[in-house]
Structure 1
């Protein structure tokens, strides 16, 4: 007798345009499917506009028994989705810090520590005014990165300028305009797409990279190597993060106790965008 097809769900509350451009979730899904597909589990992805719509999707999925588990991403502190999936009895795995999801399996990266490393890298190269273009400030991982960057900046006596983006190219350009008015000598970005936007803004202003301003990206997708100049980046094994999430989902669906899975350590890859 043929086993019924099992599914897991991933809901992304992002603009579909951003997801089309952003490499992170493409690489994550590849890793997720490398583990789930051989186990006979498919992945259902739905893009929505906001958290309310996301919660409604989980309610519908649970009522119609469309999925056997879910991946939760972009958690905020005290995120209501953690209690929701518990009430709906949906096995779940969280991409994020364990503190955001008590009682659930988590796959996490040391966002604070890696942000410290990025500031340290730039400070070691003589930069005293560093701009930081973050993701949305409501996200717990954004708050952790900011905390790490601020901690290292205080230790090194570096001025840290802040601007908020939403991971889109357009938000990166707007944040770059805001930061460049304050004359930083380096800008670090919370994803690769915003870093590309910074490069384009600097090119239009005839600002030399890295002679006048250095730029650091986050994730180190192929976009970083193809950029002009190639982007230095905090390099993460995003595919491996997806594989860890896939294994954690299989465990959760089998009723095993939740565990904390730490992703492989990131490291700074220096390229021509930094001096």
Structure 2
């Protein structure tokens, strides 16, 4: 079955590229990208289009990698993810004439095809559910502050909480387990700490869960913890972590289909992935 909307197929053999700005150690512990790439490959590999992953340390290195790919004809298109507001990579792929798909909101995508996970909808819903459960002080441990989707989640969290008349405390993290440990330790030192905390990925939530146990805080009696993405790690934790849950492999499939369309010249469009939803488990 063809993966593109009009039945056309991209050229076989030449990869699509993903230049991912991540610390290699953090990436190794993060299930999200393993599932995301698996979903992409489920669509693209049957079309004869492999996925080429390059892990780099900075945005400028990612841009340099994409220039090299274009110069040597090594890829026929790229996936852009974890973009910053006004990200130079959006202008770069337009300059290079390289088909690209942004995993992010349409504003950040700057007219490129985009697959948007509707993080604002998901964050608003999880705040509403936590407030309805009786929490009057909420915490948020966000990802890197400069990322566009982090900004959207943080602003939505604060606006939704203010609209419901509850207090907030926020921390910045880097998606690592250590960031979750640091945030939980800082939170525990507060005289009036939040009673529920939302984390921007699973690994930070797991770090916080382990640190809560070390500090003698009972989860969820003393503190409710909510992860984001809902990998198998959440279900294996003790207690199992409640999570803002979505199908990451399905997101990868949407990205793969949207990029396959872009490779054959389909008009740019924004595809909204189904919003994530809160799955309540033993930590909530």
Question: Does the aligned pair in 1 maintain the 2:12–2:49 contact within 8 Å?
Answer: no
Is 1:39 equivalent to 2:38 in the alignment?
no
Q: Alignment partner of 1:6: what SS?
A: coil
> Scaled by the length of structure 1, what TM-score is found?
0.97
For these two proteins, the number of residue pairs brought into alignment is 272
Is 1:169 equivalent to 2:169 in the alignment?
no
Residue matched to 1:123: 131
Q: How far apart are the structure 2 equivalents of 1:154 and 1:40?
A: 50
Structure 1: gaps spanning 5 or more residues: none
The Cα RMSD (Å) is 1.0
Residue matched to 2:242: 232
Equivalent of residue 111 in structure 1, options 119, 130, 141? 119
Question: Does the aligned pair in 2 maintain the 1:162–1:179 contact within 8 Å?
Answer: no
Is 1:244 equivalent to 2:254 in the alignment?
yes
Residue matched to 2:8: none
Q: How far apart are the structure 1 equivalents of 2:34 and 2:198?
A: 22
Is 1:146 equivalent to 2:141 in the alignment?
no
Is 1:215 equivalent to 2:222 in the alignment?
no
Is 1:55 equivalent to 2:90 in the alignment?
no
Equivalent of residue 26 in structure 1, options 21, 26, 34? 34
Q: How far apart are the structure 2 equivalents of 1:196 and 1:92?
A: 34
Residue matched to 1:65: 73
After TM superposition, where is structure 1 displaced by more than 6 Å over at least 4 residues in a row? none
Equivalent of residue 253 in structure 1, options 235, 240, 263? 263
Q: What is the Cα deviation at residue 194 of structure 1?
A: 0.3
Structure 1 window deviating more from structure 2 (67-76 vs 111-120): it is 111-120
> Scaled by the length of structure 2, what TM-score is found?
0.94
TM-superposition CA deviations, 1:198-225 (whole Å, max 9, x none): 1011000111000000000000110110
Q: What is the Cα deviation at residue 272 of structure 1?
A: 0.5
Kindly tell me: are residues 261 and 200 of structure 1, through their superposed partners in 2, closer, same or farther at Cα, counting changes over 3 Å?
same
Structure 2: gaps spanning 5 or more residues: 1-10
TM-superposition CA deviations, 1:144-176 (whole Å, max 9, x none): 111111111111111110000010111111122
Q: Alignment partner of 2:102: what SS?
A: strand
Q: Alignment partner of 1:41: what SS?
A: coil
TM-superposition CA deviations, 1:54-77 (whole Å, max 9, x none): 111001000000000000001111
Q: Alignment partner of 1:11: what SS?
A: strand
Question: Does the aligned pair in 2 maintain the 1:114–1:148 contact within 8 Å?
Answer: no
Kindly tell me: are residues 66 and 120 of structure 1, through their superposed partners in 2, closer, same or farther at Cα, counting changes over 3 Å?
same
Q: Alignment partner of 2:61: what SS?
A: helix
Equivalent of residue 206 in structure 1, options 186, 210, 216? 216
Is 1:196 equivalent to 2:206 in the alignment?
yes
Q: What is the Cα deviation at residue 180 of structure 1?
A: 2.3
Q: Alignment partner of 2:91: what SS?
A: helix
Q: What is the Cα deviation at residue 4 of structure 1?
A: 5.4
Q: How far apart are the structure 1 equivalents of 2:97 and 2:121?
A: 34
Residue matched to 2:19: 11
Equivalent of residue 165 in structure 2, options 157, 175, 180? 157
Q: How far apart are the structure 1 equivalents of 2:179 and 2:96?
A: 35
Structure 1 window deviating more from structure 2 (259-268 vs 218-227): it is 259-268
Question: Does the aligned pair in 1 maintain the 2:119–2:153 contact within 8 Å?
Answer: yes
